[in-house]
Every structure is written in structure tokens, then in C-alpha cells.
Structure 1
Amino acid sequence: MDPCRRTVVLLSCCRSSMRSTLLPSNNRWRTMMSVNDKAQRSRLLTPEELGMVVKLHRELRQWSQEQLGELSGLSTRTIQRVEGGKASDLDTRRALARAFEIEDIDAFNKPYVIPTEDELNASKEKFDKENITLQALPLSTGKELASLVELASMDLSTPAFELCREADECFAELVDYFRDYRDCADIYSQRDKFSIYDVLQEHIDALDALGVSLRYATRKMVVKGGVPDAKPMPVTVLYVIAFPRGKEPTEFATPRSMPLRW
């Protein structure tokens, strides 16, 4: 082989090897750019942002600032300062993570990826596609609940926040009772139903005394049975949701498809 020709071949091989090593494929390049972009957008939460996150965690659990202070070993004044957007040290943020039972105690000390506007819009579109928003109506009387139960084919009843043990048991008893009533409501005379109203009212009042407020919504759906040739069946779904009293929403979102209790 001509020496000059051989050199050209070797250089070509080297260049080819260098290209395959240094120039990633389009997919790899996009992945690398995505990682770099996220790294550039990662940052620690500002004291104001951390304060909002801590307050949200606390209110979801229906804790007072004093209770969070006791659980975290911090003073109430420190909790107030953090939620007020004041700077806090590493140990304070770790104590808060432990109180909220967050697995990573340094969760509040690590950078977060701040989403772009496009990512936020994409998340909203995905959320709207997967969920439906319903109006949350107040539920305060046993008679009203009994009437709703009679019209419903199934229900989804759940607390929207962490209940104390007593409230949790009271809510469970309420749900068990109205489900039992729904299964045999047609055998009750109008007069006999007053005893049902009274029992339901007792449970509602007990929850109210524990700081729990009930909201409801109804939704019409079409469901199919497990048999391939089963015909779609229209049903009415009743939602009974427990919220902290004084913090009830005007509406709530729920998945468009989910397991329901007949």
C-alpha cells in the first residue's frame, strides 16, 4: 500500500473514532442538554418559598404552629420566623423534615428544579386530562345525606387531610352506616327514615365538634362490567369528603377513572 494512502486511511479511522466518541447521537445530545438545563435551573428554595412549603405541610396535617414546634423540637417563635420567610439554618430545616416524616431529612436543604412555563403548562394539561373538577357543596344534615345516598349507585368517601384517631373512627362509622343504609333504603317507610336521619346527624355533629367539616359532590358516569360483552351502565357517584373546618374548598379535583365502592 502506498505510504501516503496508508496515512490517509489511518487519519480517517482516527477522525471517525473521534466523531463517534465526542459527538453524541441526537437522542444522547438532547438528554445531555436536558440534564444540563435542569442543573442550571436547580436551586435552593428561597426563605420565602421554604416558608410557604412548611406552612402547607403543617396545614395539610391540621397542626398549629405550637404543635409543629413540639414535634420538631423547635420553638413556636422559630416556626413563625420560618413561615414568615426568614432565613433558617441546616439543623432547623432538618428538624422540620423529621417532624413531617419526610424520608430524606435534607429535603429542605437540597436544590429543587424550578419548572419552566412550558413544563408548568404541560403539567396542567396532563392534570386536566386525568382529573375532573367538582363543586364542593356543604353537607350539614343527616336528612340531606340520606337523600343523597338513596340517589347514588356508589360512593367515594375519604378525608382530604390527616384526621386524629377519634375523628378518623367517627368518619369511618359514618361511612359504614350510610353504606349499610343505601343497601336497604327501599325497605324503610318515610316515618322510619327519621331514625336514620338522627343517627347520621349524630355522626355529622360529632365530626363538627372535632373540627371536621363535610363537603359532597355528585357525578354521573358510565361504567362497564368485567365481562367483555357487558353493556355500559349509567351510574351516579356520591363523593363525601372531610376537610378541616374553616378551610373547606369551593371545589376539588378527582381522577376521571378510579375504583369505586358499590
Structure 2
Amino acid sequence: MINSDVIDYRRLTDPELAAVIAELRKEKGWTQETLAEIARVSPRTIQRLESGQPSSIDTRRTLAAAFDFDDLDTFNGPWPLPNIERLKEESARIERETVAVDVQQMVKGKQLRKLAERAHSFLITSIDDPTDNVEALLASLQDCFCEYGDCHDLYSARDKLEVDRQFQEQIDELRMQGIGIVAGCRRARMRLKSSQSSDASFFLDIVYVVSASLDALPQIVRVPRNDSFGF
């Protein structure tokens, strides 16, 4: 999702409108001649428009009707478009203030169990706005992750198999809701806020578990480069 701060609302330029019309036409599986017939304009009009030539208000209204837009002035009014300069500035800020963490899809309970053993700290969150059912499943996953991670060294090999089974059930239940989870680990150097000495720094393995729709699972997540801990 693009930050609204980098969006301008303005009318499409002729080349931009050309690209939009051509893309909409191709999505429909129409030729230029087919679009011309449906819009009741000449094929030459479509050819000129898709080459980036100027078009009249009436022609743009006719094309909006051909594409079944409720608002016939769709191509005459302002569109939300990215401001390239502000987009570059925002990208630079994100690169400066965050770090990318590689993640992989969790399909086995054993994967989560091993991450829980490694984690000094963790975050479980969702890219989407989860349903109540999915939110409850994620809360259960978080509880299991935390409880096992705190005392995993007390578990026997047989006990760990049961943990694997519990995590697997949670993964499978989320998949039944169309939700997958990805996870990755970042080793971060932490420094006590109350001290400026380098001797007061230490390293933490921070695990990030992120849920998203199965068809939109990310391969990386970006997290704050400088986390603050109030010790």
C-alpha cells in the first residue's frame, strides 16, 4: 500500500490515459477495433488515443461507458497518482530507518518450534486486517510460542514432538482460513539506554512471525533498524 503522503490527485496526462485504456482493453481481451465498435467511435480514434494523442471530453466519457464505469467522467477527473519525487524520498527514508529481514513460509510445526528455541524476543503480527477467528488463532499461536520459548530447555525430546504437533495444528487451522504465516530471524545489537559504554551492548535474536493471505505472503519484511528497549 502506497503512503497517502506521496499521492497527488490530478488528471491523467495523454500518455498516461493511453496506457490505462490499452491495459483495460487488453484485460477485456478486446482488440482496438472491438473497443471502437463498443464505444461507437472509429478505430482511428482508439489508435490515436492509445498512441498518446489528445482526446476530447466526450470521447473519454464514451470510453468510460464502454468499460462500464458508473462515473462517466472517470477519465476526465483526478486520479490518485504517485508523486515520483516524494516516493523517492519515502523510499530513501524506509531504507534508512528500517532493515529487511528474509522470511520463509512456515508449513511445519517443527519450523516454528525451532524458531521459538532461538528467539530472545519475538513479534507476531498480521499484514491484513484479520477476522476475529484468525485473530484468535494468532493469539493462541503467540501464547504457545511464548510459553515454549521461555522454558524450552526443560522439554524432553518426546515433549518437543507434542509441541511440533500443537504448532502444526495452528498452522493448518490458519490455512483453512486462507491464511499463511512466514517467519524470519534478525540478530540485532542492543545497547542499554542508561549507558553509553560499548560494554553495555549485547546481541539478541529477534524472530518475526507475520500472517497474510496465502496468495500474498511476503518474502521479506521490513522492521525498525533501531529498536529501543527501556532497561
TM interval, short-chain normalised: 0.5 to 0.7
Q: Which amino acid aligns with 2:179?
A: V
CA distance in 1, matches of 2:82, 2:218: 27
Q: Cα distance, 1:195 vs. partner?
A: 1.2
CA distance in 1, matches of 2:9, 2:147: 52
172, 182, 187: which is aligned to 2:149? 182
Q: Cα distance, 1:252 vs. partner?
A: 2.4
SS at match of 1:191: helix
Indicate yes or no: 2:92 matched with 1:125.
yes
Who is 2:226 aligned against? 257
Q: Using the aligned pairs only, state the percent identity.
A: 24
Q: Which amino acid aligns with 1:154?
A: S
CA distance in 2, matches of 1:42, 1:208: 39
Relative to 1, partners in 2 of residues 1:229 and 1:128: Cα closer, same or farther, differing over 3 Å?
closer
Q: Cα distance, 1:226 vs. partner?
A: 3.7
Gaps of 5+ in 2: 1-7, 22-63
Who is 1:154 aligned against? 121
Q: Which amino acid aligns with 2:201?
A: P
CA distance in 1, matches of 2:83, 2:119: 41
Relative to 1, partners in 2 of residues 1:248 and 1:112: Cα closer, same or farther, differing over 3 Å?
closer
Relative to 1, partners in 2 of residues 1:259 and 1:200: Cα closer, same or farther, differing over 3 Å?
farther
Relative to 1, partners in 2 of residues 1:246 and 1:42: Cα closer, same or farther, differing over 3 Å?
closer
Contact kept, 8 Å, 2:186 with 2:205, in 1: the verdict is: yes
Q: Which amino acid aligns with 1:144?
A: Q
Relative to 1, partners in 2 of residues 1:86 and 1:146: Cα closer, same or farther, differing over 3 Å?
same
Gaps of 5+ in 1: 1-40, 50-81, 93-108
Whose strand fraction is larger, Structure 1's or Structure 2's?
Answer: 2
CA distance in 1, matches of 2:89, 2:129: 30
Alignment RMSD (CA, Å): 3.1
Relative to 1, partners in 2 of residues 1:197 and 1:126: Cα closer, same or farther, differing over 3 Å?
same
Q: Which amino acid aligns with 2:225?
A: R
Indicate yes or no: 2:45 matched with 1:89.
no
Who is 1:238 aligned against? 207
Relative to 1, partners in 2 of residues 1:181 and 1:259: Cα closer, same or farther, differing over 3 Å?
farther
Relative to 1, partners in 2 of residues 1:114 and 1:166: Cα closer, same or farther, differing over 3 Å?
closer
User: Rg larger in 1 or in 2?
Assistant: 1
Instruction: Give the number of aligned pairs.
Output: 170
206, 220, 223: which is aligned to 2:190? 223
Indicate yes or no: 2:140 matched with 1:173.
yes
Contact kept, 8 Å, 1:43 with 1:114, in 2: the verdict is: no
Deviations 1:100-128 (A, max 9, x none): xxxxxxxxx87757524x33322221111
Q: Cα distance, 1:88 vs. partner?
A: 3.7
Q: Using CA pairs below 8 Å that are at least 6 residues apart, which structure has the higher relative contact order?
A: 2
Q: Cα distance, 1:221 vs. partner?
A: 0.3
SS at match of 2:187: strand
SS at match of 1:246: helix
CA distance in 1, matches of 2:176, 2:81: 42
Q: Cα distance, 1:142 vs. partner?
A: 1.2
Contact kept, 8 Å, 1:133 with 1:254, in 2: the verdict is: yes
